[in-house]
Amino acid sequence: MHNGATMASETRHPVDRGSEYPLVMLTGALDADTARTVRSALLDLLAGQPEAVLVDAAAVTGPTTEAVAVLRALRDETADWPAAHLALCDPRGADAWPGLGWPVWPSTREALAELGKPDPDHRLSLDQEPALGAARRARELVTEACGRWERPDLAGPACIVVTELVNNVVVHARTPMVVLVATHGSGLSVAVRDHTPRVPTFTGGPVPPTSYGGRGMLLIDSVAERWGSLRLDEGKVVWALLAAEEDGEEAAETASMPDPVRG
């Protein structure tokens, strides 16, 4: 299945969703303006929690220094996002993308061979409306996931996280949402996507009664290894990473993808 959009300078970014990982096929000239459109498309893909997103840039003219800066900023912005990795495929190699900071593979074939096949059994999602009972159904999903993936010690903290994230959507965002749960090394990532750009606030101090998500994010901060948000063109994703207690930082290292060359 393919879909895509033509940008002002005729750069295109059709997405092949039939590939083992979402594959964005860039063609045309890549400058600052078109790179920002590509950035939005990549954020939308990342929000769905694929294990990786591949970008085939073999047919790209350029890129300009400004375009590279936009994509480098995207990598920096999503550095803590636990669900997916960005990888560039370009036979010209990393030298064509100085300062990009992404792993660069010579071709999609080589990237796919190294990454291996994705494991869909370690990713679950649930579409929900902002209605009474949404948090309960989300907890059921998380509890099922922790049992299936043999992470019983994370069921309690993960239920705290998903309850607060879902309730924020029900009370404040009031839009349809997607609950996403996935393994992350020996840990677990929990995320909720909705359709409002406003993100929950957290200061670590006293929380005003009208604060959006303040008390809930305080709870999340107390049980999660780290948490954050991704702003999308149509909404946001708020996520949290839960690490197995005995692993600590090792959980994040286990989940990192092979890294041949960085631009």
pTM exceeding 0.85: no
Q: Specify the number of domains making up the chain.
A: 2
Same domain, residue pair 58 and 178: no
> Does 106 lie in the same domain as 26?
yes
Q: Looking at the structure, do residues 124 and 111 belong to the same domain, yes or no? A: no
> Does residue 260 lie in a domain region?
no
CATH code of the domain containing 35: 3.30.750.24
Greatest mean pLDDT among 5-9, 45-49, 201-205 lies in 45-49
On whether residue 261 sits in a domain, the answer given is: no
Same domain, 221 and 195: yes
Structural domain contains residue 38: yes
Residue 229 lies in a domain: yes
Residue 234: both structure tokens together: 């149509």
Looking at the structure, tell me whether residues 146 and 180 fall in a common domain: yes
One domain for residues 247 and 147? yes
Instruction: Examine the fold and report which residue of 52, 87, 115 is the final residue of a domain before the chain moves on.
Output: 115
From 83, 115, 147, the end of a domain falls on 115
Residues 104 and 26 in one domain: yes
Q: What is the CATH number of the domain that holds 202?
A: 3.30.565.10
Assigned domain for 257 exists: no
Closest to 31 measured CA to CA, from 59, 67, 70 = 67
Are both 239 and 210 inside the same structural domain? yes
Predicted confidence (pLDDT) per residue in 107-133, tens digit: 999 999 998 888 888 899 999 999 999
Both 140 and 65 in a single domain?
Answer: no
Q: In this structure, is residue 28 part of a structural domain?
A: yes
Tokens of 14: 């059709």
From CA 211, how far away is CA 32, in angstroms rounded?
36
Q: What is the 3-state secondary structure (H, E, C) of 100-124?
A: CCCEEECCHHHHHHHHCCCCHHHEE
3-state secondary structure 174-197: CCCEEEEEEEECCEEEEEEEECCC
Among the candidates 115, 142, 177, a domain finishes at 115
pLDDT in tens, 11-68: 788 999 888 899 999 999 999 999 999 999 999 999 888 889 999 999 999 899 999 9
For residues 107 and 219, state if they share a domain.
no
For 136-152, the pLDDT digits (tens) are: 999 999 999 999 999 99
Residue 198 within any structural domain of the chain: yes
Angle between helices 65-77 and 32-46 (to 10 degrees): 20
Q: What is the pLDDT of residue 252?
A: 43
Within a domain: residue 244?
yes
Nearest alpha-carbon partner for 52 in 88, 94, 87, 16: 87
The reply to whether 6 and 87 lie within a common domain is yes
Tell me the residue range of the domain where 129 lies: 120-251
Alpha-carbon gap, residue 210 to 115, rounded angstroms: 45
Sign of CA dihedral 78, 186, 159, 138: positive
As a whole-number percent, the residues of the chain with pLDDT over 70 amount to 84
Same domain for 84 and 139? Answer: no
